[in-house]
Structure 1
Amino acid sequence: MKKVILKSLTLTNWRGERSRTTQFNSETTTISGANGLGKSRHFDAFMWLLFGKDSQDRKDFNIKTVVDGKPLMKVECEVVGVLSVEGEIITLRRALVEEWVKPRGQVEQVFKGNKTECYYNDVPVNVSEYQKRVSEIIDDSLFKMVTNPLFFASMPWKTQREQLFLLAGTVTNEELASKHPTFEILLDNIRGKSLEDFKKELAVRKKRLKADLDEIQPRIDQTQRLMPESADFLALEKELANIEVEIAQTDKAISDITERIRQQYEAVQ
């Protein structure tokens, strides 16, 4: 982390400050006063200069000076900060500039909107390039953690864990497995890949297996519908016995008729 010292901060037409420059010494500068005198205004201005947000992490907030309930128009709102970064003096400037146009056929100009202009060491740069250079000086999240005690609690738990690991250091998978042999099997499975990649693979497998399970039940239902109904073996045996009786009776009737025909034939002879 680089050593950054704020040397001075200048507010111009910024949230009630027409023009104010605050010099900061190399040790501690205390800004004190009653409510409404601009203590938080300085911190908001510094946050906006660096990251384009206020101390509550809002991009859309009232920057312009308000007079009689209306924002003061046709003035540039800007914040200029002089920093010492590892001994190098760097000047940052961010300005909110109004855009006025005169439509064809009209005499008066019409307010079109606001645009942000950024300067790095007095050289104009676009906003994205400006933010890139600021991030090289100090990280957005790191700055907020250092300056806002509530910011860490508002971070997602994964980000909190990452930051704690950066501060306390991490334990390698091999070190963990050396104390817990049961983890060696897991290490064999994730060899050559990160734990996050392995978790993604497991998630894909789980999704595929779930899809297969969802398809199995309809197949079972279809197979059951195609299967013949279960046979009633007792009824079949009874029916078979009746058929055998009928066959025996038929055979006897045929035999009787055949015998009578034979007797009649012999009588004729």
Structure 2
Amino acid sequence: MNTVKIKKLILKNFKGIKKLEIDFKKVTNILGENATGKTTIFDSFCWLLFGKDSKDRKDFEIKTLSPTGEALHGLEHSVEAILEINGEEVTLQRIYAEKWTKKKGLADKVFSGHETTYYINQVPAKQKEYNEKVAEILPDSTFKLISNPLYFNNLEWKKQREILLQIIGDIDQENVINHKDSLKPLETLLEGNTTVEDFRKKIKAQIAKYSKDKESIPYRIDECNENIIEEDFSILEDRKKTIETSNFKED
């Protein structure tokens, strides 16, 4: 687990903020009225790391808007952060800009889309390299756990259990059984080094087999019925008497 500290965050033309530098101290409070940019600062850091805002949306408005609500053209939208990772300083920067190209027959350049550029310690990096560096520093799932109080509650219970087990470490099976009297019967069922998970899989496989056998019972009954031979018992009795009489005469 890395120790990550934010030392400085620099925003340029990000959403409604033209330019802002925040030097983070041991304790940094960001205060303000509604719609003054508190969420924008959080969005900028999320975007710098993962290309998404604080609500986990990739498609959100990054550009600075004019008073009429239109995006201002020709600006570079940039977020840069100086981080301290395990005592070592690392600088990350993401820049979002418009692409303008000049086509044949036209005097002016025309808008042809957007491009995002990435820098690690002021060195240009490919998107894959940048994402790998961010994941090495702080995986997306870990960031959500420590920054969003609702994230854990919205996870599937199996994923919640996995995270909790990672936090508390390995759990001794014997301690779990001894902790609750109702689990005591498991001691006789778990032979040798069999784990609860392996035993669960075994029982699940047996249930599946029994269910499959149950489905085949009607077909087996039909097969047995087809092999049943109906006999006339009166004829068999006559044959029996004939044989007995024949044996009696021979004696």
Return the TM-score normalized by structure 1.
Answer: 0.71
Counterparts in 2 of 1:186 and 1:39: CA distance versus 1, 3 Å: same
**Structure number with higher helix proportion:** 1
Aligned residues with identical type, % of pairs:
39
Name the amino acid aligned to 2:185: T
Q: Which residue of 2 aligns with 1:184?
A: 187
Structure 1 segment 233-248 matched on structure 2, within 5 A = none
Name the amino acid aligned to 1:64: K
How far apart, in 2, do the equivalents of 1:206 and 1:84 lie? Answer: 54
Higher Cα Rg: structure 1 or 2?
Answer: 1
Kept after mapping to 1: 8 A contact 2:96/2:116 = yes
Name the amino acid aligned to 1:216: I
Structure 1 segment 129-168 matched on structure 2, within 5 A = 129-168=129-168
Distance apart, 1:232 and its partner CA: 9.1
Q: Which residue of 2 aligns with 1:120?
A: 120
Q: Which residue of 1 aligns with 2:65?
A: 66
Distance apart, 1:181 and its partner CA: 4.8
Structure 1 segment 35-114 matched on structure 2, within 5 A = 35-67=34-66, 68-103=68-103, 106-114=106-114
Q: Which residue of 2 aligns with 1:30?
A: 29
Counterparts in 2 of 1:119 and 1:186: CA distance versus 1, 3 Å: farther
Counterparts in 2 of 1:9 and 1:207: CA distance versus 1, 3 Å: same
Q: Which runs of 4+ in 1 moved over 6 A?
A: none
Distance apart, 1:64 and its partner CA: 1.7
Name the amino acid aligned to 1:220: I
Distance apart, 1:71 and its partner CA: 2.6
Q: Which residue of 2 aligns with 1:253?
A: none
Distance apart, 1:44 and its partner CA: 0.8
Counterparts in 2 of 1:16 and 1:183: CA distance versus 1, 3 Å: same
Distance apart, 1:170 and its partner CA: 4.0
Kept after mapping to 2: 8 A contact 1:118/1:127 = yes
Kept after mapping to 2: 8 A contact 1:190/1:198 = no
Counterparts in 2 of 1:24 and 1:214: CA distance versus 1, 3 Å: same
How far apart, in 2, do the equivalents of 1:144 and 1:93 lie? Answer: 20
Residue by residue, what CA displacement relative to the aligned partner does 1:142-163 show, whole Å, maximum 9, x if unpaired?
3322222222222222222233
Point out where structure 1 has 5 or more consecutive residues left out of the alignment.
242-269
Name the amino acid aligned to 1:159: K
Kept after mapping to 2: 8 A contact 1:15/1:62 = yes
- What is the RMSD of the two structures over their aligned residues, measured on CA atoms? 3.2
Distance apart, 1:196 and its partner CA: 4.5
How far apart, in 2, do the equivalents of 1:199 and 1:111 lie? Answer: 60
Q: Per the alignment, in what secondary structure is the counterpart of residue 159 of structure 2?
A: helix
